[in-house]
Amino acid sequence: MLQILVAILGISVLVIVHEAGHYLMARAFGIRVTRFSIGFGPVLAKYQPKGSPTVFQICAIPFLAYVMIAGMNPADEFDPKDPSLYPNKSILARTLTIFGGPFANYLAASLMIFALALSGWREDLPTKPMVVAKFDADSAGQKAGLQVGDIVLEANGRKVADVSELIKVTAPRAGQATLYVVKRDGQVLPPITIIPRAKEGRGVIGVWPKLETHYQPLSVREAGLLAVALPYRLTLANLSNMVDLAKRRSTEGITGPVGMGKLVAEQAEQGVYPLVWVLMLISVALGLFNLLPVPALDGGRLMFLGYEVITRRRPNERIEAAVHAVGLILLLGIIALVTLRDVVG
């Protein structure tokens, strides 16, 4: 139960950060925000600071969050003379207000990376000596008789200290019978003959090394560079995965709220580092997801703002509202299907 509560809290914090990004950017440009809600359902507590147009509230279902920005719904009537309304602001103000949410998620991810790097950056490094941890499917090494836990001592008559030396010897010997000497249960076995298979132009025997976890604090400069570079690399990886899913017309790699909750709960059991790490990954994914040019998402709203910049005229309010409504229905349908799969699975 504690892990479940931590998972709900962790994901909710990321969504609160996202909505806070919208809120802060809107207020920076003088846009009125009428409500900042943590959770949904009946209001348990609310507070409106003196002189502020915003009511901050906590609801009975304290999961996720939302902000209500005055005039943002294109279907609503608005006073064109009210300078505090979203549609009466400049294109730059409106764009940055929408972009503020995803940016807040990326900023949160960078701060988490920075903190982890300074406290002790985790690296899973291959052991010395080279210990077999697992095999590829259809592994040449496994078929020849290697087993998990074997220690590879020699390859083609050369001593092997770690996985890099094993790769160095094996890579040029695709299709050639090669002798490997291993130790198993403290006993050195007679040489095993393996024929490395060609993969991407080099020989492989399909074994993976055992890894050991090391924590090494980084310098402030190294942590700062990593905090910028890693979210970028993760974004590219996520985009690549999305393209692959689109080509295969599959939702196999998409995780819904239930799946994310399970993942966070599992990592919470492992300790603070794994928990912060998975929250960082979700924060990057949340930022990217909201930037996708899909109606009802921030990216969909940015798409209409882009249309306004290119054509120098605003899109029809009714059409924009209808597009966002249809997009929301489709989005909720996909989330429902993925959630059902996560629950059943």
Biggest CA–CA distance in the chain, Å, is 88
* Helix, strand and coil in the chain, % to nearest 5: 50, 20, 25
User: Which residues are CB-neighbours of 331 under 8 A, at least 6 positions away?
Assistant: 294, 296, 297
Q: In the chain, which stretches have pLDDT less than 50?
A: none
The model scores a pTM over 0.85: no
Is the dihedral angle over the CA atoms 64, 242, 240, 264 positive or is it negative? Answer: positive
Where would I find the beta strands (DSSP E) of the chain? 33-47, 55-69, 121-126, 130-135, 151-155, 158-159, 178-184, 187-188, 192-194, 197-199, 202-204, 207-209, 211-216
Q: What is the pLDDT of residue 344?
A: 66
CATH 3.40.50.300 fits 128-209, yes or no: no
Between CA 227 and CA 145 the distance in angstroms is 44
Q: What is the pLDDT of residue 251?
A: 62
For the stretch 269-292, what's the b/e string if a residue is b when 16 or more beta carbons lie within 10 angstroms of its beta carbon? eeeebebbbbbbbbbbbbbbbbbe
For the stretch 162-182, what's the b/e string if a residue is b when 16 or more beta carbons lie within 10 angstroms of its beta carbon? bbebbbebbeebbeeebebbb
Q: Closest Cα to residue 124, out of 209, 210, 212, 208?
A: 212
Tokens 């970028």 found at: 232
Q: For the chain, which residues make up each domain, given as ranges?
A: 2-122+219-344, 128-209
Q: What is the pLDDT of residue 252?
A: 65
